[in-house]
Amino acid sequence: MPKGKRVVKQPSFWKKEWPSVNDLVVGTVARVERHGAYVSLDEYSGKEGLIHISEISSSWIRNIRRFVREKQKVVARVLRVNIHKGHIDLSLRRVSQQDKKEKIQFWKRTQKAEILLKMAAEEFSKLGEAKTIEDAYNEFGVIFEKKFKSVFSGFEEIKAKGESALKNLKISEEWLPVILKLAKTQVESPLVKVAGMLELRSYDSDGVEKIKDALVKALEIPTEPNTEIDIFLDGTP
């Protein structure tokens, strides 16, 4: 490698040109024919793959359109790739519901991460020095992946903990206000639900009213920002 040449590491979520066998891919059904469905692969610049009718479902298929339809978003498993012929064979029946759920979640978070890196580069460029999405990834995205497992997880952590989440990370101070601003304005805090059953009893003659008053007062207790409390009655008092 020539001395002094800069090595630009491509974002890990930027897919290579072709998928590999056994990869899970997200795609949109482009057209449905008697022998199978053709899928445009969203992560591979619209490259097209074929799901043969035998790989659509493990059950007998009388009408293929009962299982797939045009413009439907699908998660498929890669069976074969022939780069020379441009063929990609896919399967739906080899994808579990858990596989599908995890892949869609990963895909959505990947898209959000790419948008945030692009916005970070644009915000930084407004300060005077032009930056690209590649610069944003190489200068702090890689660090996020090492520390928080993914770029988007890094932004979520900063959203939750603020500047303290960036402590001891070797990120240029020039990036910090940009990162903090985007985490605050562009990232939603993940919703966490905590539920439980509470049994209340009163043997007083006005016990029902006392229990109601106690629950109303509980709802009036100050909570943390963005916190909601709901109380539901399970059964007749």
The pLDDT confidence band at residue 145, using thresholds 50, 70 and 90, is: very high
* pTM higher than 0.85: no
**Does the domain at residues 99-186 carry the CATH identifier 2.60.40.420?**
no
- Cβ burial of 211 (10 Å; 0-12, 13-18, 19+) is middle
SS3 content of the chain, % helix, strand, coil (to 5): 40, 15, 45
Say whether pLDDT at 123 is over 90. Answer: yes
Q: What is the pLDDT of residues 75-100, one digit of tens each?
A: 999 999 999 999 999 999 999 999 99
Say if strands 48-52 and 87-91 run parallel, antiparallel, or are unpaired.
parallel
CATH C-level class of 24-95: mainly beta
Amino acid at 38: Y
Spatial separation of the C-alpha atoms in residues 125 and 119, rounded to whole Å: 10
**Arithmetic mean of pLDDT over the chain:** 88
Instruction: Output 34-42 pairs: Cβ under 8 A, ≥24 positions apart.
Output: 34/64, 36/64, 37/64, 37/68, 39/74, 39/76, 39/90, 41/88, 42/107
**Ranges of CATH 1.10.150.190 domains, the chain:** 99-186
**Ranges of CATH 2.40.50.140 domains, the chain:** 24-95
